[in-house]
Amino acid sequence: MKILKSAAKKRFVLAAVMLAASLTGCSATVNLESAPLANEPACAEITVRLPDQIGDQAKRVTNAQATGAWGEPASVILRCGLEPAAISSLTCVTASDVDWLVDDSKAPSYRFITFGRSPATEVIVDSKLVAGVTALDTLAEAVQNIPATKSCK
């Protein structure tokens, strides 16, 4: 009888731990679409180096290759694997030694695309929740794993 109680207690504890794990720290998966060149090895070099936090926004699970998302709702989204821009009329800025094309057509949501790196990486930032420069500075270390072949200057 004592063995039965012990086994039942272990099952109860295991079930409680599994329930607690499912309720704490886990958020719904962010549904994203992979970029056309997401399977490039360089994108894997970025993905494995993505930070756990951007500002006060925690990293979330995504369902697409070479992507990242932070915040709930997602305030920063990253996708690696875009065709690099050869020429653009967009403004080009440098943040932490990474050159970015800035698309402000949907402000206060800003789209940043790496310039001079192949494949290109895009970062979409909701500037009401996190500053664009904070996101770009935080992601720079990961993005720099794709070497620059051109610069804004």
The list of the chain residues with pLDDT below 50 reads 1-25
> What's the pLDDT score for residue 10?
38
| pLDDT at residue 27, rounded to an integer | 55
Distance CA 115, CA 42 (A): 15
Structure tokens at 58: 């925690």
The DSSP letter of residue 29 is: P
Q: What is the DSSP-derived secondary structure letter of residue 20?
A: H
The Cβ of residue 18 has, within 10 Å, a number of other Cβ atoms equal to 10
pLDDT of 128-142, one tens digit each? 999 999 999 999 999
CB count, 10 Å around CB of 122?
Answer: 18
End-to-end CA distance of the chain: 78
Question: Which long-range contacts link 96-101 to residues 24+ away (Cβ below 8 Å)?
Answer: 96/136, 96/137, 96/140, 96/141, 97/140, 97/144, 98/136, 98/140, 98/143, 98/144, 98/148, 99/148, 99/150, 99/151, 99/152, 100/136
- Would the pTM count as exceeding 0.85? no
